[in-house]
Amino acid sequence: MVEVDADSLEKMLAPARVGMNLEPIRLCAACYADSPCHKIEWQFKATKGCDRHKLHLLSECPNCGGRFKIPALWIDGHCQRCFMRFTEMVNYQKFVEV
């Protein structure tokens, strides 16, 4: 654990707060199926959906309504409440109307 003083932590987080929502954590299950990791652009306020798949992002589990854990804890790749796999959630994502 590296210690960061409060001041430099503030500087690191300040620009991130402007254009990003840290909550809720959002997910494109189709992207996750391609590469199992969180993408930072899912948290940008300007992001309405996934550009690659033209799908709305999920901000909660479509099966149980549980919020997603922080991406650092996405080790198992499933909902921590109902254990639905992230890759299955693609079936619940609605297409973005173009």
How many residues bind Zn ion (CB under 5 A)? The answer is 14
Q: Does the protein bind Zn ion through residue 89 (CB under 5 A)?
A: no
Quote the least distance from Cβ 15 to Zn ion, whole Å.
Answer: 25
Distant-in-sequence, close-in-space partners of 30: CB < 8 Å, separation ≥ 6 = 50, 52, 53, 55, 90, 93
Q: Compose the 23-62 pattern: x for residues touching Zn ion by CB under 5 A, - for all others.
A: -----x-xx------------------x-xx-------x-
Give one DSSP letter per residue of 80-97, joined into a string: TTT--BGGGGGGGPPBPP
Decide whether 12 or 37 has the Cβ nearer to Zn ion: 37
